[in-house]
């Protein structure tokens, strides 16, 4: 695909001697839509995601209604990210810029006007995201992620195993790495996706044994919660590999559309990591 830099391009960025050099190089690639010379590491990494979003908006604009709706569902991550930054700002932190969602937005125009966590809860409850079950920051974050996974499972069969694997990693991290308890609404959503058994597991091995096969792969051979990053790496590799296979299909059918989104997202993640490596030079 011409809108990505690929593994070789990311390697060239990673071996640059400075962030400035890496950003200059990246500005001459498809990421130049938002990446600009002189940007800091954080600014350039944000710009990589902004470019990915732009590509998804363009893709959705070319597609029939059904295809555009699938892209809109997958692009909900950006609305979720915007909400994370809104909560950061409301908590007194320094937030990253807002992503411009355009027609890919779901409820962001209402969410962005919220002035408290309680208002965010109310806005979500009246939207396709659904009631988060509380106004706590972590409750909202977890609920939105599970709601997103549920929507992907319901509407995009090609991405079902990705969503279930991601849910397994998310709940393993929450329960077993962070030691957090699940709010009732998040527990209900997790139960719908993975069943009852995994949510009460006391170890990663026990959780993996109780997971449905479509989600178990994400935790295979991981027993220490500190190594969940291995599952995340495996998850991204599977998404990219299967995305390439889907992309090989014909025309504007669902498969190639989902494949394009997966491959573009994996490329953006790799480029952001390459920028991080260049910054350490």
pLDDT in tens, 31-49: 999 999 999 999 999 999 9
Of residues 173 and 2, more confidently modeled: 173
Percent of the chain with pLDDT over 90: 94
Does pLDDT of 249 surpass 80?
no
Contact 108, 79 (CB under 8 A): yes
Answer whether 262's CB lies under 8 Å from 243's CB. yes
Give the C-alpha separation, 214 to 257, whole Å: 22
The pair phi, psi for residue 8, each rounded to 5°, is -65, -40
pLDDT value for 181: 86
Tokens standing for residue 144 = 């939105």
* C-alpha dist (Å) from residue 82 to 56, 113, 268: 16, 12, 18
Q: Are 167 and 194 in contact (CB under 8 A)?
A: yes
Q: What is the mean pLDDT of residues 168-180?
A: 94
Q: What do you get for the CA distance between the two ends of the chain, in Å?
A: 29
Q: Is the model's pLDDT at 137 over the cut of 80? A: yes
Sign of CA dihedral 80, 86, 88, 91: negative
Work out the average pLDDT over 193-202. Answer: 94
Of 2-16, 104-118, 233-247, the least confident: 2-16
CB count, 10 Å around CB of 135?
15
Beta-carbon contacts of 259 under 8 Å, excluding residues fewer than 6 positions away, are 158, 242, 243, 244, 245, 246, 247, 248, 249
Percent share of the chain, pLDDT over 70: 99
Write down the pLDDT at residue 252. 60
Residue 250 reports pLDDT greater than 80: no
pTM as predicted: 0.94
Q: State the chain's mean pLDDT as an integer.
A: 95
User: Is the pLDDT assigned to residue 10 strictly greater than 80?
Assistant: yes
- Sign, CA torsion 83/86/90/93: positive
According to the model, what pLDDT value does residue 253 have? 73
- Which pLDDT score is estimated for 254? 87
Average pLDDT in the 152-172 region? Answer: 98
Average pLDDT of the residues in 68-78: 97
Q: Does the pLDDT value for residue 55 go beyond 70?
A: yes
Please report the pLDDT score of residue 251 as a whole number: 60
At 223, list the tokens.
């027993």
Residue 156 reports pLDDT greater than 70:
yes
State CA 216 to chain mean position distance.
19
Q: What is the pLDDT of residue 106?
A: 95
């Amino acid at each position: 695909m011409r809108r990505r830099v690929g593994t070789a391009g990311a390697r060239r960025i990673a071996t640059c001697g400075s962030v400035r050099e890496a950003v200059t190089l990246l500005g001459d690639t498809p990421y130049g839509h938002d990446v600009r010379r002189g940007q800091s590491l954080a600014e350039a990494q944000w710009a990589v995601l902004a470019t990915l979003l732009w590509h998804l908006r363009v893709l959705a604009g070319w597609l029939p209604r059904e295809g555009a709706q699938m892209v809109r569902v997958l692009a909900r991550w950006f609305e979720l990210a915007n909400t994370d930054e809104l909560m950061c700002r409301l908590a007194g932190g320094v937030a990253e810029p807002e992503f411009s969602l355009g027609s890919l937005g779901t409820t962001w125009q209402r969410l962005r006007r919220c002035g408290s966590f309680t208002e965010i809860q109310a806005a979500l409850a009246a939207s396709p995201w659904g009631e988060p079950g509380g106004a706590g920051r972590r409750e909202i974050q977890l609920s939105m992620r599970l709601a997103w996974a549920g929507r992907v499972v319901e509407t995009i069969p090609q991405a079902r195993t990705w969503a279930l694997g991601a849910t397994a990693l998310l709940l393993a991290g929450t329960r077993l790495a962070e030691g957090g308890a699940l709010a009732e609404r998040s527990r209900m959503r997790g139960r719908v996706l993975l069943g009852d058994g995994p949510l009460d597991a006391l170890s990663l091995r026990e959780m993996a044994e109780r997971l449905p096969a479509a989600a178990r792969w994400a935790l295979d051979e991981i027993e220490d919660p500190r190594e969940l990053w291995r599952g995340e790496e495996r998850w991204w590799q599977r998404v990219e590999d299967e995305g390439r296979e889907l992309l090989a299909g014909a025309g504007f059918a669902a498969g190639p559309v989902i494949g394009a989104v997966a491959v573009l997202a994996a490329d953006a993640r790799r480029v952001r990591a390459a920028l991080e490596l260049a910054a350490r030079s």
